[in-house]
Every structure is written in C-alpha cells, then in structure tokens.
Amino acid sequence: MSLQDRIESLRARHRSLEEAIDEETSRPMPNLEILADLKRQKLRIKDEIVGLQHTAHATQ
C-alpha cells in the first residue's frame, strides 16, 4: 500500500468515525463513553494523517 493509499484509507475511516459520532449524539440519550472513545479514535487517525502528510511532503 502506498503512502497516499494509506492516507486515503485513514481519511475514509475518519469520515466513518465522524458519522458514528453524529449518529451517537443524535440519540435521545447518547452514551458518553462511546462518544469519548470515538472521538479519541478520530483524533488518533487525524494525528496519523498529519504525520503521514508531513512525511509525504518531506520526501518530495
């Protein structure tokens, strides 16, 4: 898998997590533990995307 493919895969996962967060927050009684976990996952993925993008720009 190329670096760009990995970034795109992470972006898709990031969007999926955003949808899951939106879905959970729209529930009458959202589960705060689930929300916190989803947000942590989303943040980790965002950090990884930024790191990979930095690596990609450094190698160009």
The 10s digit of each residue's pLDDT in 23-58 is 999 999 999 999 999 999 999 999 999 999 998 888
Token pair recorded at residue 25? 């927050």
**2-26 per-position pLDDT tens digit:** 999 999 999 999 999 999 999 999 9
Task: Give CA angle at 40 (30, 35), nearest 5°.
Answer: 0
Amino acid at 24: E
Q: Against a cut of 0.85, is the pTM above it?
A: yes
pLDDT at 1: 81
Helix (H, G, I), strand (E, B) or coil at 2: coil
